[in-house]
Amino acid sequence: MAQPNDERRDSHRVPFRFQVREAEARGSFEEREGNLALGGIYYSGLHPPVGAVVEVRFLLPGHTEEIMALGQVLRVSRDGERFGAHLRFTNIPLDSELAVARYLQTATGS
């Protein structure tokens, strides 16, 4: 039987940089390091709130159009003084999702 903290990733993750901001705050986008997967992202920050809706922007290598998506913070992990947001995409255009899938396939050799 699967435990709550068992690995549940359906796709590989690759290191990436994102522009993120809380959707309701409508403040400036901030660059964050993390990793990209088909269904969402992980990024490190100071303290992202669980349940928050986050706007995400990023540019895939070899593409000219920026991908924009919405996601929800599912959980927050801690690494020393830093926190990490585990975000699931809730609204990403189909063509963007397909571009991410192709990129991940190329980047991971799968």
pLDDT at position 11, please? 65
Mean pLDDT of 18-44: 91
The β-bridge partners of 75 are: 86
Position 7 pLDDT exceeds 60? no
Sole residue written with tokens 């928050």: 52
Tell me the C-alpha distance between 46 and 55, whole Å: 17
Where residue 20 falls among pLDDT bands split at 50, 70, 90? very high
SS3 labels along 41-100: EEEEECCCCCCCEEEEEECCCCCCCCEEEEEEEEEEEEECCEEEEEEEEEECCHHHHHHH
pLDDT at position 47, please? 66
Across 34-38, 47-51, 68-72, 93-97, least confident range = 47-51
Class of domain 14-108: mainly beta
Average pLDDT, the chain: 86
